[in-house]
Protein backbone atom coordinates (compact mmCIF):
# COMPACT_ATOMS: atom_id res chain seq x y z
CA UNK A 1 0.00 0.00 0.00
CA UNK A 2 1.42 3.38 -0.81
CA UNK A 3 0.57 6.38 1.18
CA UNK A 4 1.33 9.94 0.32
CA UNK A 5 3.85 10.12 3.10
CA UNK A 6 7.50 9.34 2.66
CA UNK A 7 8.32 5.79 3.72
CA UNK A 8 11.86 5.44 4.98
CA UNK A 9 12.07 2.01 6.45
CA UNK A 10 12.64 -0.09 3.34
CA UNK A 11 15.99 -1.65 2.55
CA UNK A 12 17.51 -1.30 -0.92
CA UNK A 13 17.07 -5.00 -1.53
CA UNK A 14 13.40 -4.85 -0.65
CA UNK A 15 13.02 -1.81 -2.90
CA UNK A 16 14.71 -3.65 -5.73
CA UNK A 17 12.32 -6.57 -5.33
CA UNK A 18 9.43 -4.13 -5.57
CA UNK A 19 10.95 -2.53 -8.64
CA UNK A 20 11.46 -5.92 -10.20
CA UNK A 21 7.85 -6.91 -9.56
CA UNK A 22 6.59 -3.67 -11.08
CA UNK A 23 8.83 -4.05 -14.13
CA UNK A 24 7.57 -7.60 -14.57
CA UNK A 25 3.98 -6.39 -14.63
CA UNK A 26 4.88 -3.72 -17.15
CA UNK A 27 6.54 -6.15 -19.55
CA UNK A 28 10.01 -4.75 -18.94
CA UNK A 29 12.99 -6.58 -17.47
CA UNK A 30 15.44 -5.69 -14.74
CA UNK A 31 18.60 -7.26 -13.34
CA UNK A 32 20.55 -6.57 -10.16
CA UNK A 33 24.26 -6.87 -10.90
CA UNK A 34 27.57 -6.24 -9.22
CA UNK A 35 29.86 -3.59 -10.72
CA UNK A 36 32.09 -6.13 -12.42
CA UNK A 37 29.11 -7.97 -13.89
CA UNK A 38 27.68 -5.07 -15.90
CA UNK A 39 29.64 -5.84 -19.02
CA UNK A 40 28.85 -9.52 -19.15
CA UNK A 41 25.19 -8.93 -18.37
CA UNK A 42 24.90 -6.44 -21.20
CA UNK A 43 26.64 -8.86 -23.51
CA UNK A 44 24.14 -11.57 -22.67
CA UNK A 45 21.24 -9.22 -23.34
CA UNK A 46 22.54 -8.04 -26.67
CA UNK A 47 20.76 -10.52 -28.85
CA UNK A 48 21.91 -11.21 -32.39
CA UNK A 49 19.33 -8.78 -33.68
CA UNK A 50 21.09 -5.83 -32.06
CA UNK A 51 23.61 -4.64 -34.63
CA UNK A 52 23.69 -0.98 -33.77
CA UNK A 53 23.52 0.73 -30.40
CA UNK A 54 23.61 4.43 -29.53
CA UNK A 55 24.94 5.36 -26.09
CA UNK A 56 24.33 8.67 -24.41
CA UNK A 57 27.45 9.25 -22.36
CA UNK A 58 27.00 10.61 -18.86
CA UNK A 59 29.15 10.13 -15.73
CA UNK A 60 27.32 6.98 -14.66
CA UNK A 61 27.84 5.41 -18.08
CA UNK A 62 31.53 6.35 -17.92
CA UNK A 63 31.79 4.64 -14.55
CA UNK A 64 30.21 1.32 -15.37
CA UNK A 65 30.27 0.82 -19.11
CA UNK A 66 33.71 -0.19 -20.41
CA UNK A 67 35.46 1.96 -23.01
CA UNK A 68 35.14 -0.88 -25.41
CA UNK A 69 31.52 -1.85 -25.44
CA UNK A 70 30.89 -5.60 -25.08
CA UNK A 71 30.71 -7.05 -28.56
CA UNK A 72 31.91 -3.86 -30.21
CA UNK A 73 34.68 -5.63 -31.99
CA UNK A 74 32.35 -8.24 -33.47
CA UNK A 75 29.87 -6.62 -35.81
CA UNK A 76 28.22 -4.38 -33.25
CA UNK A 77 28.24 -0.75 -34.30
CA UNK A 78 28.45 1.59 -31.31
CA UNK A 79 27.65 5.29 -31.57
CA UNK A 80 28.65 7.34 -28.57
CA UNK A 81 27.01 10.68 -27.91
CA UNK A 82 28.79 13.15 -25.63
CA UNK A 83 26.87 14.63 -22.70
CA UNK A 84 26.64 18.00 -24.36
CA UNK A 85 25.97 18.60 -28.01
CA UNK A 86 29.24 19.39 -29.76
CA UNK A 87 29.63 22.45 -31.98
CA UNK A 88 30.14 20.33 -35.08
CA UNK A 89 26.90 18.46 -34.52
CA UNK A 90 25.11 17.16 -37.62
CA UNK A 91 21.44 16.71 -36.83
CA UNK A 92 20.73 14.70 -39.97
CA UNK A 93 23.24 12.00 -39.22
CA UNK A 94 22.30 11.99 -35.52
CA UNK A 95 18.71 11.26 -36.47
CA UNK A 96 19.76 8.75 -39.05
CA UNK A 97 21.85 6.89 -36.48
CA UNK A 98 18.92 6.67 -34.15
CA UNK A 99 16.46 5.65 -36.83
CA UNK A 100 18.79 2.83 -37.84
CA UNK A 101 19.74 1.91 -34.29
CA UNK A 102 18.43 -1.28 -32.73
CA UNK A 103 19.06 -0.14 -29.19
CA UNK A 104 19.75 2.88 -27.04
CA UNK A 105 21.64 3.03 -23.74
CA UNK A 106 21.27 5.73 -21.13
CA UNK A 107 21.75 6.19 -17.40
CA UNK A 108 18.92 6.90 -14.99
CA UNK A 109 18.75 9.63 -12.41
CA UNK A 110 16.40 7.75 -10.14
CA UNK A 111 14.30 4.63 -10.30
CA UNK A 112 10.97 4.41 -8.55
CA UNK A 113 10.20 0.99 -7.10
CA UNK A 114 6.43 1.07 -6.76
CA UNK A 115 5.65 2.10 -10.30
CA UNK A 116 8.69 0.60 -12.06
CA UNK A 117 9.68 4.06 -13.26
CA UNK A 118 12.94 5.36 -14.67
CA UNK A 119 13.40 9.07 -13.97
CA UNK A 120 15.48 11.12 -16.38
CA UNK A 121 16.31 14.71 -15.63
CA UNK A 122 16.89 16.96 -18.59
CA UNK A 123 20.59 17.44 -17.98
CA UNK A 124 21.15 13.67 -18.24
CA UNK A 125 18.77 13.22 -21.14
CA UNK A 126 19.80 15.83 -23.67
CA UNK A 127 19.57 13.27 -26.46
CA UNK A 128 15.94 12.39 -25.86
CA UNK A 129 15.52 10.40 -29.05
CA UNK A 130 17.87 7.75 -27.62
CA UNK A 131 15.03 6.64 -25.34
CA UNK A 132 12.35 6.97 -28.00
CA UNK A 133 13.40 5.84 -31.46
CA UNK A 134 15.29 2.56 -31.13
CA UNK A 135 13.06 -0.49 -30.44
CA UNK A 136 15.15 -1.59 -27.46
CA UNK A 137 16.19 0.59 -24.56
CA UNK A 138 18.83 -0.24 -21.95
CA UNK A 139 18.90 1.84 -18.80
CA UNK A 140 21.78 1.80 -16.37
CA UNK A 141 20.92 2.59 -12.77
CA UNK A 142 22.35 2.04 -9.31
CA UNK A 143 20.73 0.52 -6.24
CA UNK A 144 21.27 3.80 -4.46
CA UNK A 145 18.93 5.46 -6.95
CA UNK A 146 15.99 3.38 -5.78
CA UNK A 147 13.14 5.43 -4.32
CA UNK A 148 10.00 3.79 -2.88
CA UNK A 149 7.30 5.77 -4.69
CA UNK A 150 6.32 8.91 -6.53
CA UNK A 151 5.47 10.86 -3.40
CA UNK A 152 8.81 10.11 -1.79
CA UNK A 153 10.51 11.10 -5.03
CA UNK A 154 8.82 14.47 -5.26
CA UNK A 155 9.38 15.07 -1.60
CA UNK A 156 13.08 14.47 -2.19
CA UNK A 157 13.45 16.77 -5.16
CA UNK A 158 11.35 19.45 -3.52
CA UNK A 159 13.70 19.45 -0.56
CA UNK A 160 16.78 19.51 -2.75
CA UNK A 161 15.26 22.26 -4.87
CA UNK A 162 15.84 20.27 -8.01
CA UNK A 163 13.68 22.28 -10.35
CA UNK A 164 16.27 24.08 -12.38
CA UNK A 165 16.37 21.30 -14.93
CA UNK A 166 15.06 21.53 -18.42
CA UNK A 167 12.55 18.75 -18.95
CA UNK A 168 11.97 15.67 -16.89
CA UNK A 169 10.84 12.30 -18.14
CA UNK A 170 9.30 9.33 -16.39
CA UNK A 171 9.50 6.07 -18.30
CA UNK A 172 7.51 3.18 -16.85
CA UNK A 173 7.92 0.12 -19.00
CA UNK A 174 7.71 -0.28 -22.76
CA UNK A 175 5.42 1.79 -24.95
CA UNK A 176 1.90 0.31 -25.00
CA UNK A 177 -1.70 0.64 -26.16
CA UNK A 178 -5.08 -0.99 -25.49
CA UNK A 179 -6.94 0.96 -28.15
CA UNK A 180 -7.86 -2.11 -30.19
CA UNK A 181 -10.65 -3.84 -28.27
CA UNK A 182 -8.70 -3.42 -25.03
CA UNK A 183 -6.00 -5.85 -26.22
CA UNK A 184 -2.68 -4.90 -24.69
CA UNK A 185 0.04 -4.40 -27.30
CA UNK A 186 3.58 -3.41 -26.35
CA UNK A 187 5.80 -1.20 -28.45
CA UNK A 188 3.59 1.19 -30.36
CA UNK A 189 5.80 4.21 -31.07
CA UNK A 190 8.37 4.00 -28.33
CA UNK A 191 10.62 1.05 -27.44
CA UNK A 192 9.03 -2.39 -27.22
CA UNK A 193 11.82 -3.78 -25.03
CA UNK A 194 13.09 -2.11 -21.89
CA UNK A 195 15.94 -3.42 -19.75
CA UNK A 196 17.05 -1.78 -16.54
CA UNK A 197 20.39 -2.85 -15.12
CA UNK A 198 20.64 -1.95 -11.46
CA UNK A 199 24.22 -1.90 -10.17
CA UNK A 200 25.01 -2.80 -6.56
CA UNK A 201 27.73 -0.40 -5.56
The full DSSP string for 78-130 is: EEEE-SS--TT--HHHHHHHHHH-SEEEEE-SEEETTTTEEEEEGGG-S-GGG
Among 60, 81, 140, 147, binds other proteins (CB under 8 A): 81
**C-beta of 77 vs 83, nearer to other proteins:** 83
79 contacts 95 by C-beta, under 8 angstroms: no
Going by DSSP bridges, is the β-strand pair 77-81/103-107 parallel, antiparallel, or unpaired?
unpaired
CB of 59 to other proteins, least distance (A): 15
- Answer yes or no whether residue 75 interacts with other proteins by CB under 8 A: no
Near other proteins in 141-200, by CB under 8 A: 150-151, 153-155, 157-158, 163, 166-183, 185, 187-191
Among 115, 124, 142, 145, binds other proteins (CB under 8 A): 115
Looking at 36-44, 59-67, 107-115, 138-146, which segment touches other proteins (CB under 8 A)? 107-115
Q: Which of 194, 141, 154 shows the shortest CA–CA distance to 26?
A: 194
Residue 183 neighbours by CB distance under 10 Å: 8
Among 18, 32, 111, 116, binds other proteins (CB under 8 A): 116
**C-beta of 37 vs 155, nearer to other proteins:** 155
Length of the chain: 201
Among 61, 76, 78, 129, binds other proteins (CB under 8 A): 129
Q: CB-based contacts of 138: which residues, under 8 Å, 6+ apart?
A: 42, 45, 53, 103, 104, 105, 106, 195, 196, 197
Judged on CB neighbours under 10 Å (0-12, 13-18, 19+), 149 is buried
* Sites of contact with other proteins (CB under 8 A): 1-5, 22, 26, 81, 84-85, 89, 91, 94-95, 99, 112, 114-117, 122, 126-129, 132, 150-151, 153-155, 157-158, 163, 166-183, 185, 187-191
Amino acid sequence: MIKSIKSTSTTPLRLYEQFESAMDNLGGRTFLVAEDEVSSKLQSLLSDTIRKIVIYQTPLIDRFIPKTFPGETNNLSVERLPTIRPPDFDEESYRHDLIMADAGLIAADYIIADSGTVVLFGENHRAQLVTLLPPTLFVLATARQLIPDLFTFHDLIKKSNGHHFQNMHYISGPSRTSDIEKTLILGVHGPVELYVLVVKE
